[in-house]
Amino acid sequence: MLSIGDLSKRTGVKVPTIRYYEQMGLIEAAERSEGNQRRYERNDLERLAFIRHARDLGLDIPAIRELIALSQHPDLPCANADRIAADHLTAVREKIEKLKKLEHELERIISHCDGHSIEDCYVIRALSDHGLCEGEH
Amino acid sequence: MLSIGDLSKRTGVKVPTIRYYEQMGLIEAAERSEGNQRRYERNDLERLAFIRHARDLGLDIPAIRELIALSQHPDLPCANADRIAADHLTAVREKIEKLKKLEHELERIISHCDGHSIEDCYVIRALSDHGLCEGEH
DNA sequence: GATAATTCCTCTAGTGACTAGAGCTACAAG
DNA sequence: CTTGTAGCTCTAGTCACTAGAGGAATTATC
Ligand SMILES: [Zn+2]
Ligand SMILES: [Zn+2]
Ligand SMILES: [Zn+2]
Ligand SMILES: [Zn+2]
């Protein structure tokens, strides 16, 4: 039996975050001690590690909730789980594309400033006028 | 004299967002009509276009506030403006790096699943165990 | 000039995934 | 047995908006 602090130390998930996940329905409400403190077991540890890893990979809470629900039906086909991962990959790629466009424009803007007065600052001018940009964003 | 709706149409910034920017101190409180409605002039249009473009490039509101303040002192050196842009570029690059790591792991995870049952699903297994990952994230 | 449609006003609350803090209680170590 | 740490619940704050309520002003139509 682990306290919430023990669980926190072992998984690297902060104590308030564990309570938050319980509230969000990602982990079941834990048993309580006589004094109303949460007590966890080994499988809670695994569950929380799963959640943490999924969050580290950028999945959001509804997606994780769905994956947990799926993982409790081992006989179902895994198409839905695979789709969740694939959709997330697509979203990640779209974010990368957008950020690369920003990176490109910012590089250009910064390199065009000769760094004297605000009056001549290319950063300020470029921000005032999207027409000076090379692409959309 | 433009109404807030006119300003919105001309800049592509939604009406509530314009009021929000006023509240955040990015644009000065506009003059009002007899009936208490905001009335804007040409320079408000430029200011709002500046804000919009800076937001589109991913700058946050405190950074934009600082850039606006700087732009009102044309004789100052522009090092601070340049630094704001450079810091932002650094942040964008860091985000790209993180997302690329995620992209890599997700590609790997998805390609390893042969897509039968949940029981054998590599997506679920990989989420359960970061040890299966190639890198950190 | 009356009426209707649209736009505007302020204020509050919701978004996602936590995080911080207040005020209180339980438990472990000395 | 006292002290210190850890736990409890509840509320509010983060960021940059967005949605909605309830009401007033403006514009368009007749
Ligand atoms: Zn400059
Ligand atoms: Zn641009
Ligand atoms: Zn699978
Ligand atoms: Zn991993």
- With beta carbons under 8 A apart, name residues in chain B contacting A136: none
Q: What phi and psi, each to the nearest 5 degrees, are found at residue B108?
A: -60, -50
What is the tens place of the pLDDT at every residue in A52-79? 999 999 999 999 999 999 999 999 999 9
Residue B113 has which token pair? 């699943």
How many Å does it take to go from CA A89 to C1' D15? 25
Instruction: Classify burial at B59, counting beta carbons within 10 Å of its beta carbon; exposed 0-12, middle 13-18, buried 19 or more.
Output: buried
Question: SS3 string of B70-129?
Answer: HHCCCCCECHHHHHHHHHHHHHHHHHHHHHHHHHHHHHHHHHCCCCCEHHHCHHHHHHHC
Q: Dihedral sign, CA of A40, A43, A47, A49?
A: positive
Q: Determine contact: A74 vs chain B, CB below 8 A.
A: yes
* CA distance, residue B133 to nearest chain A CA (Å): 10
Q: Measured in angstroms, how far is the CA atom of residue B124 from the centroid of ligand 4? A: 12
The Cα A94–Cα B13 span in angstroms is: 23
Delimit the domains of chain A by residue range: 2-71, 79-132
How many Å does it take to go from CA A34 to C1' D1? 21
3-state secondary structure at position B36: coil
CA distances from A67 to A63, A81, A85, A87, B36 (A): 6, 6, 10, 13, 52
What pLDDT does A49 receive?
Answer: 98
Contact A57 B102 (CB under 8 A): yes
Which residues have a beta carbon within 5 Å of ligand 1, which is an ion? A 113, 121, 123; B 78, 82
Percent of chain A scored above 90 by pLDDT? 97
Query: What nucleotides of chain D have any atom within 7 angstroms of a protein Cβ?
Result: 6-10, 15-20, 24-27
Q: Dihedral sign, CA of B76, B79, B82, B87?
A: negative
The Cα B104–Cα A89 span in angstroms is: 9
Q: Residue A47 CB closer than 7 angstroms to strand D?
A: no
pLDDT at A114 over 90: no
pLDDT at A115 over 90: no
Interface of B with A in 117-136 (CB under 8 A): 117-121, 123-124, 127-130
From first to last of the 137 residues of chain B, give the pLDDT tens digit: 999 999 999 999 999 999 999 999 999 999 999 999 999 999 999 999 999 999 999 999 999 999 999 999 999 999 999 999 999 999 999 999 999 999 999 999 999 998 789 999 999 999 999 999 999 99
Q: How is domain A2-71 classified at the CATH fold level?
A: Multidrug-efflux Transporter Regulator; Chain: A; Domain 2 (1.10.1660)
Going by C-alpha positions, the residue among B16, B65, B121 that lies closest to residue A84 is B121
